[in-house]
Amino acid sequence: MADSSSRRLQSLKVTLTGYGVWHGIPPPELEEFHLFSLPAAVIKPSVSGRKILPLAVLEETHTRTVRSCAWSPNGKLLATASFDATTAIWENIGGDYECVSTLEGHENEIKSVSWNASGSLLATCSRDRTVWIWEVFPGNEYECVSVLQGHTQDVKMVQWHPTMDLLFSCSYDNTVKVWAGDDDNDDWHCVQTLDESNNGHSSTVWTLSFNPTGNKMVTCSDDLTLKIWESNETRLHSGGGYSPWRHTCTLSGYHDRTIFSVHWSRNGIIASGAADDSIRLFVENQEKVIDGPSFQLLFKKEKAHNMDVNSVQWSPGEERLLGSSSDDGTIRIWELIPNS
């Protein structure tokens, strides 16, 4: 069992101010911990981890708030989703980030954007209750191949499975939906809905995240809980058909206001950020497996920000760095270290 008193979050004093921040995310397979802030900017800590330097400010493309961003799997493209109902694709060309494509079609604000594992598909979701799947072609060409209309309310987030072409969406309608395509990825349909009938959430589902192997998932909600879901890993990767997700654990009583964000690190640590201005870290309890997996609180950081914590995101590198962003207009970077 992990000792919840053996770790603590230490601020690296690299707070970035002056931005209304909703989302921060590092690019995959890169050691630098890039973040994204609003208005659109790409930033990173210096090598020492004690300074934060703007790399670029992405302007003149979006006309309203940028709500979400996602790096392509190879880290070369950045997709930004905006309340202006467009998604912009940016590429670093000669040291400058240039908008190489703009995707249009949603009727209302776009809330989230996500690339699949191969970078061949992009998903967006919107207040218009739809999820769009875009196919990526050479020359920065994008074509919408499917419009998914299963949700009955605002869709808050889309996230691809880390290894398979399964798309997950969470919504104001209190559900998580799982979408799968045919062999040609032309015909997409909902293969499972996670709701109260199968121990799902009772209020808005804001975000979800997968463990490193992709056989477990954590979701967070306005109902003040985090829920752990599991799928049969062998069947999931054997090609033997869709393996349904089942609820295995609920974490409650750790936040007293809406939980906006959750992220599962490559080291197996779940971070959550909420409207109570705090951050919580959880790890799986390896000793209690008789009734299925259970999780315990590893660390709690009260007043991590002065206002709502909108996003938490672990670095993909070996260092245990955590980025958080808030309504207080700051991005903070934390390091998980042993207690001395």
Inside any domain, residue 41:
no
Is pLDDT at 188 greater than 90 in this prediction? Answer: yes
Residues spanned by the domain of 144: 93-236+243-335
For the stretch 256-289, pLDDT in tens is: 999 999 999 999 999 999 999 999 999 998 775 6
Domain-located, residue 326 = yes
Enter the pTM of the model: 0.89
pLDDT for position 286: 78
160 domain residue, yes or no = yes
Q: Is residue 175 part of a domain?
A: yes
In a domain? residue 21: no
The closest alpha carbon to 300, from 326, 279, 324, belongs to 279
Inter-residue contact 254 to 288 (CB < 8 Å): no
- Tell me the torsion sign for CA atoms 21, 201, 8, 278: positive
Name the more confident of 335 and 218: 218
- Ramachandran category for residue 76: left, alpha or beta (phi over 0 → left; psi -120 to 50 → alpha): alpha
User: Does 282 map to a domain?
Assistant: yes
Least confident window among 61-70, 220-229, 262-271? 61-70
Domain count, the chain: 1
Average pLDDT over residues 288-308: 86
Give the pLDDT of residue 292: 67
Is residue 7 situated within a structural domain?
Answer: no
What's the CATH number where 159 sits?
Answer: 2.130.10.10
In a domain, 35, yes or no: no
- Residue 129 pLDDT more than 90? yes
